[in-house]
Structure 1
Amino acid sequence: MSAPVHCVLFDLDGTLVDTAPDLGHAANHVRATLGLPPLPLADYRPVASAGARGLLHKALGITPEHPEFDAHRRLFLDRYRAHLADDSRPFDGIAELLAGIEAQQRRWGVMTNKPAWLTGPLLDALDLAARACCAVSADEVPRAKPAPDGLLHAAALAGVAASNCVYVGDDLRDIDAAHAAGMRSIAAAWGYIGDTPVDRWGADRVVESPDALLHWLAGQPRG
């Protein structure tokens, strides 16, 4: 029998919350300062889980080695911080999923590569912070995903063994981090996904919707 599920941990961007619109607006703001027209917001969606590096590469075709990357990154982050919840919303079905997890008397939390100075305000703005048993950002642990540090810290904050957690994410590094932490991994096929097909990630399970995840959880032992 599988280990009981006491806690469900979520990636943030592209899994719990659709942040692509506000991230795309911030990237287009950087383009505007250079006299460039905006890109369609849909162009940013596949890289929205990749942070400033991925978004600026899409917006400007530059990498961190570019001499002006840091300046563009600061401009991007300043704009994003000022507008991080203008159009960002939990994905369809997430509200029902979280309510269902709580009704099952399980805990849920967040582990993201987003820095804490953005994670906290975003969760606050969406009225999620007080409900999460933990919220861990990459800059609060020695190593970001795909290393297991953040997930292990989240489990410790939740007071739950790693083996009794599942991690839900929309990127290959989420699955790798879960495996490294000794957690079951769930690929959120409703998220941003990126270039590598989700069925090649090696996730323990692929779910197509938040409702499908809740249905799966209903069949899992609680302890």
Structure 2
Amino acid sequence: MLKKPNAMLFDLDGTLLDTAKDLGNALNQILTSLGRATVDHQTYRNIASDGAKGMLELGFGDDLKHFEFDILRQQFLDYYENNICIDTDYFEGVEQLLLALNKKHIPWGIVTNKPAFLTTQLITSFPLLQNCAVVISGDTLSERKPHPLPLLYAEQKLALDSPNTWYIGDAQRDIQSANAANMISVIAEYGYISDLNVTDEWDADLSIHTATDLLTYF
């Protein structure tokens, strides 16, 4: 039986927010501008957690080596920044979960590999996310997930007397980071995972089908 958490930390893309369509829109805008075939939602959805690099690798395949990657990446980020919340929304149950955490005075935060300028823009667009106690982005520190430093730093910022922190994410690097930080690691199965069978190898403490599954534990 898992001990009741006294804090929760979350990944952002694929865990709190479904950002895949807006990331896919950025990719497809670049592909269209170059006269290349676009990628459908079902194909790019499970790559969304890998950010600009993963999306460009998906869209261009082996042809990527014939382009200036840094230029494509900047074009991707520029378009995404200017169209960041067209089709993005909470995953089902996330709002209910966060409201419950607030009501029970359980502090929570966000630890993401997304660059800070994009993280801040998303959080600003969703008022409920502004209640989080700490935000760590991919460029906040010298290391990012799967290194444990971002999670440990976030936990330190929460100033807990006796930490029992849970970290929820949808990628293997999230679970690796949580395990290395000695936190309870939770797989968000509803996120961007192409094959749930592989998650058995991630050595997580818990898997959830929806965000509200976590309500059971506190």
What is residue 206 of structure 2 aligned with on the other side? Answer: 205
| Farther-moved stretch of structure 1 (66-75 vs 94-103) | 66-75
Q: Could you say if the C-alpha distance between residues 206 and 36 of structure 1 is closer, same or farther in structure 2, counting changes exceeding 3 Å?
A: same
What is residue 221 of structure 1 aligned with on the other side? Answer: none
Task: Give the AA of the match of 2:175.
Answer: I
Query: 1:128 is paired with a residue of what secondary structure?
Result: helix
What is residue 97 of structure 1 aligned with on the other side? Answer: 97
Structure 1 contact 120–129 (Cα < 8 Å) conserved: no
What is residue 81 of structure 2 aligned with on the other side? Answer: 81
Cα shift readout 1:118-173 (whole Å, capped 9, x = no counterpart): 00110110113421001100101111110011111111122126842100000011
What is residue 127 of structure 1 aligned with on the other side? Answer: 127
What is residue 7 of structure 2 aligned with on the other side? Answer: 7
Q: Could you say if the C-alpha distance between residues 167 and 71 of structure 1 is closer, same or farther in structure 2, counting changes exceeding 3 Å?
A: same
Task: Give the AA of the match of 1:130.
Answer: Q
Cα shift readout 1:70-111 (whole Å, capped 9, x = no counterpart): 111010000000011111001011110111112222011100
Query: 2:75 is paired with a residue of what secondary structure?
Result: helix
Could you list the runs of 5+ residues in structure 2 that have no partner in the other structure?
Answer: none
Query: 1:130 is paired with a residue of what secondary structure?
Result: helix
Structure 1 contact 163–182 (Cα < 8 Å) conserved: no
What is residue 72 of structure 1 aligned with on the other side? Answer: 72
Residue 184 (structure 1) aligned with residue 189 (structure 2):
no
**RMSD, aligned CA:** 1.9
> What is the deviation of 1:17?
0.3
What is residue 56 of structure 2 aligned with on the other side? Answer: 56
Equivalent-residue separation in structure 2 for 1:177 and 1:151 (angstroms): 7
> What is the deviation of 1:65?
6.2
Query: 1:141 is paired with a residue of what secondary structure?
Result: coil
Equivalent-residue separation in structure 2 for 1:39 and 1:17 (angstroms): 21
Equivalent-residue separation in structure 1 for 2:65 and 2:53 (angstroms): 11
Residue 158 (structure 1) aligned with residue 158 (structure 2):
yes
Could you list the runs of 5+ residues in structure 1 that have no partner in the other structure?
Answer: 219-223
Equivalent-residue separation in structure 2 for 1:64 and 1:70 (angstroms): 11
Task: Give the AA of the match of 2:131.
Answer: R
Equivalent-residue separation in structure 1 for 2:198 and 2:189 (angstroms): 10
What is residue 40 of structure 1 aligned with on the other side? Answer: 40
Task: Give the AA of the match of 1:25.
Answer: N
Structure 1 contact 14–191 (Cα < 8 Å) conserved: yes
Structure 1 contact 152–162 (Cα < 8 Å) conserved: no
Equivalent-residue separation in structure 2 for 1:185 and 1:105 (angstroms): 21
Instruction: State the identity as a percent.
Output: 39
Task: Name the TM-score, length of structure 1 as normaliser.
Answer: 0.91
Equivalent-residue separation in structure 2 for 1:35 and 1:65 (angstroms): 17
Task: Give the AA of the match of 1:115.
Answer: P
Equivalent-residue separation in structure 2 for 1:113 and 1:82 (angstroms): 19
| Farther-moved stretch of structure 1 (64-73 vs 109-118) | 64-73
What is residue 137 of structure 2 aligned with on the other side? Answer: 137
Structure 1 contact 25–41 (Cα < 8 Å) conserved: no
User: Which 4+ stretches in 1 moved above 6 angstroms?
Assistant: none
Task: Give the AA of the match of 2:112.
Answer: T
Equivalent-residue separation in structure 2 for 1:118 and 1:162 (angstroms): 32
Cα shift readout 1:8-40 (whole Å, capped 9, x = no counterpart): 100000000000000000000110121113221
